[in-house]
Amino acid sequence: MTGAATLLSDVFGFDAFRPGQEEIVHAVAQGENVLAIMPTGGGKSLCFQLPALMRDGVTVVISPLIALMRDQVRALQEAGVSAGALTSGNTPEETDAVWDALERGELKLLYMAPERLAAGSAMGMLRRIGVSMIAVDEAHCVSQWGHDFRPDYLRIGELRRTLNVPLAAFTATADIETQAEIVQKLFDGEPPTAFLRGFDRPNIHLAFAAKDGPRAQILNFAAARKGQSGIVYCGTRAKTETLAQALREGGHGAIHYHGGMDADDRRIAERRFQQEDGLIVVATVAFGMGIDKPDIRWVAHADLPKSIEAYYQEIGRAGRDGAPAETLTLFGPDDIKLRRSQIDEGLAPPERRSADHGRLNALLGLAEALDCRRNTLLGYFGETETTCGNCDLCDKPAEVFDGTTAVRKALSAMLRTEEWFGAGHLIDILLGNRTDKIAQRGHDSLPTYGVGKEYDKREWQAVFRQMMGHDLIRPDPARHGALRMTDAALPILRDEATISLRRDSIRSAGTNRRPAVKEMVSEEDAPLLSALKAQRRALAEAARVPAYVIFTDRTLIEMAEKRPTNLDAMAGISGVGAKKLERYGETFLQVINGAVNDVHPTRRKLAGRAAGTVYDQLMDAQAQLARGAGGTDKPLSCSASQLAKVAQMRSADAGALERLLGERRAERFGAAFLAVLSAA
Ligand code: ADP
Ligand code: ZN
């Protein structure tokens, strides 16, 4: 049996295990029954792929989604591992190849969709081929109460009994109920060896912002990450479409996705996102399960998620390859109202509803946190020893003030109007605005009328939003959303407790300035990274596989930074295993070493000048659109001297670009070039 560490570096090209992997690999390779709970991006697949290579016979992998299975199989084959999938999506040739490999006794991993287990023939087949172990990916699909339930997962227990082989189950789902259900359904209640990895995802940057022109906030966030794959989660289906449109107008490749689309369109969208480099998908939470893309660079929430668990799961889709990834979650009083009313108006029994309010409160606590987000988030999952330095509040501590008096004034305005009004009217009372509504109801004679003039309307809005966030007040659905005080506010009202509030970032947000594009590497390595990505894209397109199947972003970043000059040095890059070295090593070495020497003379003239960077960004934008936004048009590009001229344009507009580039090129690249120029 070859050692795990040797296989790790020879086959997968990784020089070290991720935290927790080694113990799991060891237990699985020993033939123990295992339940491993690891965060998304923790590297679960390796925990059964590696043992599969260490053990004799075939490892059967049950995985819920055909497209993802095929990608995993492709990735394994690229690494030189004999793997195959039996799915309804197979061509007859693919199925034959799997059978041949089985017959020759070579196949190490056989991927199957759970539906396949329903066919009477499957069991007999699996008995014949010498299965030595079962691995179950996304094991929480066995849970009848979760939204990913797959009835056919219930057949896995029977499969394990029939074959009488060890089973290793993997999931990223944290909650205890689901874990218990997995043990019950997959292991007949016999507790397996369990591994629970910490929940921290140190490479993901956490940030929240109060809504203030939310569309512009999202567009700016995306503009600063142009060309990187991202997800924008929205609260409604309609918004996914309008926001995707707005992003396209901003020069991004963007598509929408929601549960109301028919199954085929959803599949096409999932596929495009998986395969294409740098695409943005604007989606409802229906988007996620079909996604196994390790190089998603950012996740933004245009609306507040429904709970802290949902938040964690959604942001967790970013940065599975371990390279830096960023998130931004927007929230405002309307989100809080909406989420509360969804819980109150839902059909769940009362104790469940109160637990749901608790989960929402935990998320709001995170949104309104006064110090490190990561501490707050992981604290919720029971982890206390955390280091961060990678969240907005570690970057720039919140400005806080003693909000006790403000909160008491607001509460008093609520109570004196018998908790029948929303924030808008209450703020008018505090500010002493004589509106019709105030005059009609005689609220100008209340003692609280006009006592809050030390703050303006926006500041009071921020106070009310934070009071909702701290669950001091809640909208009451029975009173059309009028705010009512909760018991949590009593100590403040009675002057027994104080409260710190954030001075809102709203005033300093300055959302109208277009942010500069952030690069994943230093400015000096950026052009090389683009060239490496272009090479990867060409190979991936030729092989019709997602780009990361060739190399992940992380691997390319390391290449761009370390600039290996020969195959030995190339082998030392994380993610370059023996097979990939043999297949792609030379090609990428050429890009690296060629790119250093063979700078286009036109570009060389711009070296060291701002226009040089702009030139590279234009090249990048051009590469993205080489075959049009949909990737299906005729290839088209501009000459180096055209690009150099664009890069040096002082005042750019669509007309000037068209004069320079001609109609066809202006049509394809104009918007994207203008976006580059206005960000420069
Ligand atoms: P999960 O299923 O837990 O979300 P994956 O198994 O898809 O995660 O792994 C996520 C990414 O991390 C993949 O790109 C994988 O190649 C990479 N990876 C896994 N283990 C390691 C390791 N030990 N070193 C470097 N990269 C790793
Ligand atoms: Zn932090």
pLDDT reading at 505 higher than 60:
no
| Cα(307)–Cα(316) distance, integer angstroms | 14
pLDDT reading at 510 higher than 50:
no
- Are 112 and 153 a contacting pair, CB within 8 Å? no
pLDDT of residue 174: 63
Query: 542 CA distance to ligand 2 centroid (A)?
Result: 42
The angle that helices 66-78 and 578-597 make with each other, rounded to 10 degrees, is: 80
Bridge partner list, 231: 281, 299
Q: What is the mean pLDDT of the chain?
A: 89
**So what's the architecture of 204-395 in CATH?**
3-Layer(aba) Sandwich (3.40)
Q: What is the position in ligand 1's atom list of the atom closest to the CA of 292? A: 7
Query: 201 CA distance to ligand 2 centroid (A)?
Result: 12
Query: 230 CA distance to ligand 2 centroid (A)?
Result: 22
Kindly report the number of other CB atoms within 10 A of residue 659's CB atom.
Answer: 10
Q: What is the 3-state secondary structure (H, E, C) of 512-533?
A: CCCCCCCCCCCCCCHHHHHHHH
Ligand nearest 371 Cα, by number? 2
Spell out which residues line ligand 1, taking CB within 6 angstroms: 14, 17-18, 21, 38, 40-46, 294, 320-322, 552, 574
pLDDT reading at 191 higher than 80:
yes
Q: Which of 35-44, 68-77, 599-608 has the lowest mean pLDDT?
A: 599-608
Q: What SS3 state is found at 510?
A: coil
- pLDDT bin (cut points 50, 70, 90) of residue 176 is confident
pLDDT of residue 282: 98
Exposure b/e, 409-433, CB count within 10 A at least 16 = b: bbbbbbeebebebbbebbbbbbbee
Residue of 520 and 298 predicted with greater confidence: 298
What CATH class has 526-605?
Answer: mainly alpha
Q: Where are the alpha helices (DSSP H) in 110-232?
A: 120-128, 156-163, 176-187, 214-223
* Among 8, 9, 14, 292, residue to substitute to test ligand 1 (most atoms within 8 Å of Cβ): 14
Ligand nearest 375 Cα, by number? 2
The residue-averaged pLDDT of 376-393 equals 87
**So what's the architecture of 4-196 in CATH?**
3-Layer(aba) Sandwich (3.40)
* Among 10, 11, 18, 297, residue to substitute to test ligand 1 (most atoms within 8 Å of Cβ): 18
pLDDT of residue 509: 43
| Cα(675)–Cα(20) distance, integer angstroms | 43
Write the pLDDT tens digit of every residue in 224-281. Answer: 999 899 999 999 999 999 999 999 999 999 999 999 999 999 989 998 998 888 999 9
| Cα(318)–Cα(207) distance, integer angstroms | 13
Query: 285 CA distance to ligand 2 centroid (A)?
Result: 26
Q: What is the position in ligand 1's atom list of the atom closest to the CA of 21? A: 23
4-196 matches 204-395 in fold: yes
Write the pLDDT tens digit of every residue in 423-442. Answer: 999 999 999 999 999 999 99
Write the pLDDT tens digit of every residue in 160-172. Answer: 999 999 999 999 8
Write the pLDDT tens digit of every residue in 318-367. Answer: 999 889 999 999 999 889 888 988 888 888 788 778 888 888 888 999 99
Q: What is the position in ligand 1's atom list of the atom closest to the CA of 40? A: 4
Phi first, then psi, for residue 403 (nearest 5°) are -95, 10
What tokens appear for 604 in the block?
């060389």
- pLDDT bin (cut points 50, 70, 90) of residue 14 is very high
| Cα(276)–Cα(253) distance, integer angstroms | 10
| Cβ partners under 8 Å of residue 381, min gap 6 | 174, 199, 312
Query: 322 CA distance to ligand 1 centroid (A)?
Result: 8
Residue 492: its H or E element? helix 490-493
The residue-averaged pLDDT of 634-638 equals 84
Ligand nearest 397 Cα, by number? 2
Query: 305 CA distance to ligand 2 centroid (A)?
Result: 20
Query: 372 CA distance to ligand 2 centroid (A)?
Result: 4
pLDDT reading at 524 higher than 90:
no
pLDDT of residue 331: 94
**So what's the architecture of 404-498 in CATH?**
Orthogonal Bundle (1.10)
Q: What is the DSSP string of 230-292?
A: EEEE-SSHHHHHHHHHHHHHTT--EEEE-TTS-HHHHHHHHHHHHHSTT-EEEE-TTSSTT--
pLDDT of residue 508: 45
pLDDT reading at 597 higher than 60:
no
Domain boundaries, the chain: 4-196, 204-395, 404-498, 526-605, 610-679
Residue nearest to atom 25 of ligand 1 (CA): 14
| Cβ partners under 8 Å of residue 186, min gap 6 | 35, 136, 139, 142, 156, 157, 160, 167, 169
pLDDT of residue 506: 45
What is residue 206's DSSP assignment? B
Q: Where are the alpha helices (DSSP H) in 12-65?
A: 21-29, 44-54
Phi first, then psi, for residue 536 (nearest 5°) are -60, -45
